[in-house]
Amino acid sequence: MTRAALESTLLARRGAGRKLVVPYVTAGVVADWLQVVRALAAAGADAVEIGLPFSDPMMDGPTIQEASLRALERGTTAPAALAALADADVGVPLVAMTYYNIVYRAGHRRFARMLADAGVSGAIVPDLPLEESAPWRAEAEAAGVDGVLLVAPSTPDERARRICAASRGFVYAVGVMGVTGERAALADSARQVARRLRPLSRLPVCVGVGISTPEQAVEVCRDADGVVIGSALVHRLLEGADPTDAAALVVDVRRALDERVESDEPVETGRG
Partner 1 sequence: MGPPGPDGRFGSFGGRYVPESLVPACEELAAAFEAAWSDAGFHEELDTILRVYGGRPTPVTPCRRLSEQLGVRLLLKREDLAHTGSHKLNNVVGQALLARRMGKRRLVAETGAGQHGVATATAAALFGMDCTVYMGEVDVERQALNVFRMQLLGAEVRTVSSGSRTLKDAVNEAMRDWVATVGHSHYCLGSVMGPHPYPWMVRELQRVVGEEARAQCRELLDGADPDWVVACVGGGSNAAGTFAGFVDTEAYLVGVEAAGGAAMGAGGVPGVLHGMASRLLQDEQGQILEAKSISAGLDYPGIGPEHAHLAELGRARYEQAHDAEVLAAFELLARTEGIIAAFEPAHALAWVVREAGRTVPLGSTVLVTLSGRGDKDVAQARELLG
How far are the Cα atoms of 76, 131, 148, 168, 196 from residue 137, in angstroms, in the given order?
25, 11, 9, 9, 24
Q: Does 166 bind partner 1 (CB under 8 A)?
A: no
Q: For partner 1, what does the binding mask look like between residues 102 and 121, x meaning CB under 8 A?
A: xxxxx---------------
Measured from the CB atom, the residue of 178 and 267 that comes closer to partner 1 is 178
User: If you count DSSP H runs as helices and E runs as strands, how many of each does the chain have, helices first?
Assistant: 12, 8
The least distance separating partner 1 from the CB of residue 3, rounded to whole angstroms, comes to 24
User: Which residue of 163, 206, 221, 246 would you call a contact of partner 1, by CB under 8 A?
Assistant: 163
Tally Cβ neighbours within 10 Å of residue 63. 22
Q: For partner 1, what does the binding mask look like between residues 17 and 56, x meaning CB under 8 A?
A: -------------------------------------xxx
**Backbone dihedral region of 177: left (phi > 0), alpha (psi from -120 to 50 degrees) or beta?**
beta
Binding to partner 1 (CB under 8 A) within 85-104 occurs at 100-104
- Under rule CB under 8 A, how many of the chain's residues touch partner 1? 41
The least distance separating partner 1 from the CB of residue 154, rounded to whole angstroms, comes to 5
Measured from the CB atom, the residue of 129 and 144 that comes closer to partner 1 is 129
Q: Does 250 bind partner 1 (CB under 8 A)?
A: no
* N-to-C CA span, the chain: 33
Closest CA to 230 of 45, 10, 8, 5: 45
Q: Which stretch binds partner 1 (CB under 8 A): 26-34, 64-72, 253-261, 263-271?
A: 64-72
* Active site residue ranges: 49, 60
Closest CA to 98 of 39, 26, 174, 200: 26
Q: Does 131 bind partner 1 (CB under 8 A)?
A: yes
CA distance 129 to 114: 22
Its sign, for the CA torsion 207, 210, 213, 218, is negative
Q: Does 194 bind partner 1 (CB under 8 A)?
A: no
Q: Which residues are at the interface with partner 1 (CB under 8 A)?
A: 54-59, 61, 65, 69, 72, 77-79, 100-106, 126-132, 149-156, 159, 163, 174, 177-179
